[in-house]
Structure 1
Amino acid sequence: MNFVNYRPCVGIMLLNRDGLVFVGRRRGKSASNRLQVGYEWQMPQGGIDPGEDPYQAALRELQEETNVSSTAFLAESADWYSYDLPQGVLKKSWNGRFQGQRQKWFALHFQGQDSEIDIESPAGGHRPEFDAWRWEEVGRLAELIVPFKRPVYEKVVEDFAHLALPR
């Protein structure tokens, strides 16, 4: 597969003390403007800046989307996963420069309190990505994400499900 046309990206599975995973509901201008109603929930993810180490990108993206910095490294996916954007989304995303994303995933243990999570005013003054969040069971993650990202989520769950234990 030629990854030239894939945006380099990271994804983060943030696990709490109960073995549950952070998911955020993608912010949209209105419920009818969401990509697919019922599939708005996802784990934090974001682009890797030129020259940036993927793990450092994961920590930065997590803080920019959730304000969370109290974490401990658990695991890194052995592979990079990719997905293609559907035709209807392709031209609207990243000005049509990429056909999809190529992602490196990290599992992190959240060591803070829920009060540390701030999706309304996350660190760095970035525009909020999410309008709601919750802790979710790892086995439900794939059913919450838009269908075109589902195979990636299934691989991430396969890689990291064994880490979803109470600590």
Structure 2
Amino acid sequence: MMTDLESLPYRPCAGVVLLNRDGLIFTGQRIDNPVPAWQMPQGGIDAGEKPKQAALRELWEETGIRADLVEKIAKTRDWVTYDLPPELLGKVWKGKYKGQKQKWFLFRFLGEDSDVNIVTEHPEFSVWAWKPYTEVLDSIVPFKRAVYAEVFDEFRDWLR
């Protein structure tokens, strides 16, 4: 049964742009993708959870970085949305969503690289790196590239 794309809602999600002392951004190579697909920490917002709480929880779940090791610099003014490409519709999120609406947070990382641990209970990343935002844009999966560009544009005053 094919569901009408337009009738599906967007999945609420929170994302983190994590800057280190050198102005580089945390990115991880997705563990579940056979082709290189890097992304920043992000994930769904649970019922009753505020976007910032979700962002900090996702950061912890995906990187092992505790909330006391980051400080909030900014967040996106509005929700940023993307649609799943046709080949993923009905396959991810049990087919309940046509894409995601995301609230992004810019955090400064106050810890050390040794505070990062991607070997978590449910690992999302196989490797991680600090990258300039231009390199992050080049390595993201194509259907998320416009979202990342929009987020980086909004946070441009803090990105080098």
Which deviations, in whole Å up to 9, do the C-alpha atoms of 1:118-153 show, x marking residues without a partner? Answer: 0013xxxx3100000000001222211111111100
Q: Is the 8 A contact 1:3 1:102 kept in 2?
A: no
- How far did residue 4 of structure 1 move? 6.2
CA distance in 1, matches of 2:127, 2:158: 24
Cα 1:87/1:4, change in 2 over 3 Å:
closer
Q: What residue in structure 1 maps to residue 133 of structure 2? A: 138
Q: How many residues of Structure 1 are paired with residues of Structure 2 in the alignment?
A: 153
TM-score (norm 2): 0.91
CA distance in 1, matches of 2:155, 2:136: 12
Cα 1:142/1:3, change in 2 over 3 Å:
farther
CA distance in 2, matches of 1:21, 1:161: 13
Establish whether residue 47 from structure 1 lines up as the match of residue 44 from structure 2: yes
- How far did residue 80 of structure 1 move? 0.5
Establish whether residue 21 from structure 1 lines up as the match of residue 25 from structure 2: yes
Q: Which amino acid aligns with 1:119?
A: I
Q: What residue in structure 2 maps to residue 81 of structure 1? A: 80
Q: Which amino acid aligns with 2:21?
A: R
Q: Is the 8 A contact 2:152 2:159 kept in 1?
A: no
Which deviations, in whole Å up to 9, do the C-alpha atoms of 1:68-87 show, x marking residues without a partner? Answer: 11100000000101101011
What percent of counterpart residues are identical? 50
SS in 1 for 2:46: coil
- Unpaired runs of 5+ residues, structure 1, are none
Q: Among residues 63, 68, 82, which one is paired with 2:65 in the alignment?
A: 68
- Unpaired runs of 5+ residues, structure 2, are 1-5
Establish whether residue 109 from structure 1 lines up as the match of residue 108 from structure 2: yes
- How far did residue 3 of structure 1 move? 9.2
Q: Among residues 10, 15, 23, which one is paired with 2:14 in the alignment?
A: 10
Cα RMSD, aligned residues only:
1.5
Establish whether residue 159 from structure 1 lines up as the match of residue 154 from structure 2: yes
Q: Is the 8 A contact 1:138 1:161 kept in 2?
A: no
CA distance in 1, matches of 2:59, 2:79: 18
